[in-house]
Chain A
């Protein structure tokens, strides 16, 4: 996937230059975040419900609900804009945060908690992680 994947235009919009493969990877990531938020058995669910205050047995329900709503809303909005050629700054931010959740959830679900574990991971997992990192790196450059 050579060349720039996201380009910031002079009017502030972000041009999306992902090919079909790139869009399919992002689409799947967005769908998985939506699914994980609603399905406690999803392998990403644990990373979406990490403790806010680890000294407590249970976190403040209002904060937990806020997190759940915002994460799910962002992922749904990202999925809705997956075929767009241009993103607003807000949409690009939502893509970045949802892709970042997908990236970290993948690493956590696969037990990749250190550089050594990451280096020793299966090639297809590593490819997926590298692809998401590339998307994120270029999106961050536009924001």
Chain B
């Protein structure tokens, strides 16, 4: 394009094919570590009670609740849920209100 002053105008393209600058190529994607809800063993709580509490709070199957209860019993603790911190905290409170010893911890 030539204008009447003889000076070639600088025209900025409306669209560019060079999109590299729009996309970050660095490894800067943030991944939130999930939080774990842990239930601890104690010597007095009946096994059947633990199963009922897990079923009521998490809605897990009887089979899964029994497996988790046995993990608590044999290993001293079991990871019963993992995910976002606020939900982990909410589940932990529900378990404590139901009388189980429970804490939350961040994934390593």
- The size bracket of the interface on A is 35 or more
Task: Name A's interface SS.
Answer: helix
Cβ distance A103 to chain B, nearest Cβ, rounded Å: 5
Query: In the complex, are the beta carbons of B43 and A115 less than 8 A apart?
Result: yes
**Do B104 and A53 touch (CB < 8 A)?**
yes
* Cα distance A118–B41 in the bound complex, in angstroms: 14
Interface residue B70 (Cβ < 8 Å from any Cβ of A): no
Interface status of B71 (Cβ within 8 A of chain A): no
Task: Report if A129-B98 is in contact (Cβ < 8 Å); known contacts: A53-B105, A140-B49.
Answer: no
Stretch with Cβ within 8 A of A (4 or more), from B7-15, B23-31, B89-97: B89-97
Interface pair B99/A107, CB less than 8 Å apart = no
| Any A CB within 8 A of the CB of B56 | yes
The interface on chain B, measured as residues whose beta carbon lies within 8 A of the other chain's beta carbons, has a size of 26
Report yes or no: A50 in contact with B98, Cβ–Cβ below 8 A.
no
Q: Is A3 close to B, CB under 8 A?
A: no
Contact with A along B80-108 (1 / 0, CB 8 A): 00000000011011001111111111100
A70 within 8 A of B: yes
- B92 & A52 in contact (Cβ 8 Å cutoff): yes
Which of A's residues lie within 8 Å of B, judged by CB?
50-55, 60, 63, 66-67, 70-71, 74, 93, 96-101, 103-104, 106-107, 112-115, 117-118, 129, 133, 136-137, 140-141, 143
Instruction: State the B residues within 8 Å of A (CB).
Output: 42-46, 48-49, 51-53, 56, 89-90, 92-93, 96-106
